[in-house]
Amino acid sequence: MKTSLVAVVAMASNRVIGDGDDLLWHLPGDLRRVKAVTMGCPLIMGRKTWDSIGRPLPGRASIVLTRDRSWQADGAIAASSLEEALEKGAKWLAEQGQGETRQILFGGGQIYKLGLSQCDVIEMTEVDLAPEGPALFPEIDSAQWQETKREEVLADGDIPAHRFLTYQRISAK
């Protein structure tokens, strides 16, 4: 089964995505968008991101990349390479029989770095904050990616301004 790969990320203006253990903001609108974009799809994530979520997300497969071949957790499908993760994701999609063909590159920093070159689309929430943090989203090369959609959300109380952006790949992978 041929599948496409979509990176889904929330990133601060300095490219920070998390403190290594967790997210650095709480944006209910972003959580709703992530749910809508990812429902019915395999989520390919690093073991640290799995630890930070702590449970499988309903209606989606959690495919967890780890170098520890004995690693297991309830509700997770372990994979030791991106290739293996994509194979397991495609198998899960075929078993669902819903016609869905997208897989999601779900982070964190190490997994975006590993898989961004294989992505076809980036669904990004860009947050107007610049927190300290070790986990980053890679630079987006404008020769490879074109912004095709933008929706601005104004600051509101504790919620910082942010925007929902879609990038499509314009060069061959």
Name the site residues for ligand NAP (rule: CB under 6 A): 9-10, 17-23, 45-49, 52, 65-68, 71, 80-81, 106-111, 114, 135
- Is there a contact between 20 and 42 (Cβ–Cβ < 8 Å)? no
Contacts of 117 (CB under 8 A, 6+ apart): 173
Cβ of residue 99: shortest distance to ligand NAP, in angstroms?
27
If the CB atoms of residues 93 and 106 are measured against ligand NAP, the closer one turns out to be 106
Counting Cβ atoms within 10 Å, is residue 19 exposed (0-12), middle (13-18) or buried (19+)?
A: middle
Cβ of residue 21: shortest distance to ligand NAP, in angstroms?
5
Q: Quote the tokens at residue 23.
A: 């997210």
Taking residue 72's Cβ as centre, other Cβ atoms within 10 Å add up to 11
Cβ of residue 2: shortest distance to ligand NAP, in angstroms?
23
If the CB atoms of residues 20 and 40 are measured against ligand NAP, the closer one turns out to be 20
Cβ of residue 136: shortest distance to ligand NAP, in angstroms?
8
If the CB atoms of residues 80 and 101 are measured against ligand NAP, the closer one turns out to be 80
**Angle at Cα 138 formed by Cα 132 and Cα 159, nearest 5°?**
45
